[in-house]
Amino acid sequence: MSDAGGAWKASPENLAHAEAVLSATAASGALYRDGLGMIASENIVSPRVQEVITSDLHGRYAEGLPGKRYYQGCEGFDDIESLGISLARDVFNCSFANIQSTSGTVSNIGALKALAKPGDKITAISTADGGHISHARMGAVGLRGLDLTTYPWDVDRMEPDVDAACAMIREVEPTLALVGQSVFLFPTPLKEMADAAHEVGAKVMYDGAHVLGLIAGGQFQDPLREGADIVTGSSHKTFPGPQGGFILSNSDDEKFHRKLNSAIFPGVCSSYHLHHVAGKVIALAEFAEYGAAYAEDIVSNAKAFGAAMAAEGFDVLAE
């Protein structure tokens, strides 16, 4: 509503709604400012990233790839995204990067669309063993209509039973072997499983959402060097950027690159939150500068926290 002079006015009821949201937002910020956040999938971003994700880009649209847009006036954003693709290739040491995805799960949906068709067989880690919900029938795997078989699990080692898993891959002969978890403490025995998958003609997809910053910082396994054909991941967990996702590959096959890009747009995204993409680009530049030290600190802090918890009498896994 507006008054006769054109000034916007709101009813007391709607003003109260806005004030309630602002109050709850401030309370949430205070909780994390004054306490210790224990949700491992959350992170914070730098002031520069915060600045760009609240910029004019939050209300803008772009479809397609840099230089190949469906809208006019995207030249400035083309420069941003092109820089981000280049930085992602450097930070993750890969030949292909798509930085448009709006989350890790959206990256997974896009990758599954590119790599498999409905009815194809897929192998993955059960959600009961730490696999992400998007790897399950109730998630992206089911949405794509894939035939899922989960890997045998070594409870004591908290990882796939590598010999049994490799035997299962050879028996099932999946189109896609999916590894990576949302709950895990140790690297996946990827090389052995990738070798088995490639023997039967399967592609290997590694979901690195929760460990992507550790991978890029050299503090975890290196899936693209251990047999993964593509890596998907989030830009806001151990990688300290805004919410969003990545798809990465070391393939030099331009046709494969086009297939991955097309799976994101027009496959699962139209426009794709340009303010968050710009934030990713700044986060990538920051990570190129201090990412190795950042990842090392994550590990050091986790070990120190685990030791302190153990000293207080808590049972700590992998102390």
Question: Does residue 135 contact residue 163 with C-beta atoms inside 8 Å?
Answer: no
Average pLDDT, the chain: 94
β-strands 153-154, 176-179 pairing:
unpaired
2 falls in which pLDDT band (50, 70, 90)?
A: very low
Three-state DSSP at 311 gives helix
Question: Using CA atoms, how far apart are residues 169 and 148, in angstroms rounded to an integer?
Answer: 12
Q: Tell whether the model's pLDDT for residue 3 goes beyond 70.
A: no
Q: Which residues pair with 65 in a beta bridge?
A: 68
**If you average pLDDT over residues 134-160, what whole number do you get?**
95
Report the C-alpha gap between 81 and 74 in whole angstroms.
10
Question: What spatial distance separates the first Cα and last Cα of the chain, rounded to whole Å?
Answer: 60
pLDDT digits (tens, 9 = 90+) for 175-229: 999 999 999 889 999 999 999 999 999 999 999 999 999 999 999 999 999 999 9
pLDDT recorded at residue 1: 45
Encoded amino acid at 23, one letter: S
Closest alpha carbon to 109 in 138, 137, 144, 136: 144
Angle between helices 104-115 and 254-262 (to 10 degrees): 130
Do residues 236 and 213 lie in contact, with contact meaning Cβ atoms separated by under 8 Å? Answer: no
Buried b or exposed e, range 143-155, using 16+ CB within 10 angstroms: ebebbbebbebbe
Q: Which CATH class is domain 52-280?
A: alpha beta
Question: To which H or E segment does residue 306 belong?
Answer: helix 274-311
Handedness of CA 16, 19, 24, 27 (dihedral sign): negative
Rounded Cα distance between 91 and 85, Å, is 10
Give every strand in the sheet of 176-179, ordered side by side.
96-98, 245-249, 230-234, 203-207, 176-179, 121-124, 147-150
Q: Could you report the per-residue pLDDT of 214-255, keeping only the tens digit for each?
A: 999 999 999 999 999 999 999 999 999 999 999 999 999 999
> Does residue 4 have a pLDDT over 80?
no
Domain locations in the chain as residue ranges: 52-280
Which pLDDT value is given to residue 184?
86
Q: Three-state SS across 133-177?
A: HHHCCCCHHHHCCCEEEECCEECCCCEECHHHHHHHHHHHCCCEE
Question: In sequence order, what are the residues at sequence separation of 6 or more whose Cβ sits closer than 8 angstroms to the Cβ of residue 143?
Answer: 109
Per-residue model confidence (pLDDT) at position 181: 93
Cβ–Cβ < 8 Å for 159, 127: no
Q: Please say whether the beta carbons of 257 and 264 come within 8 A.
A: no
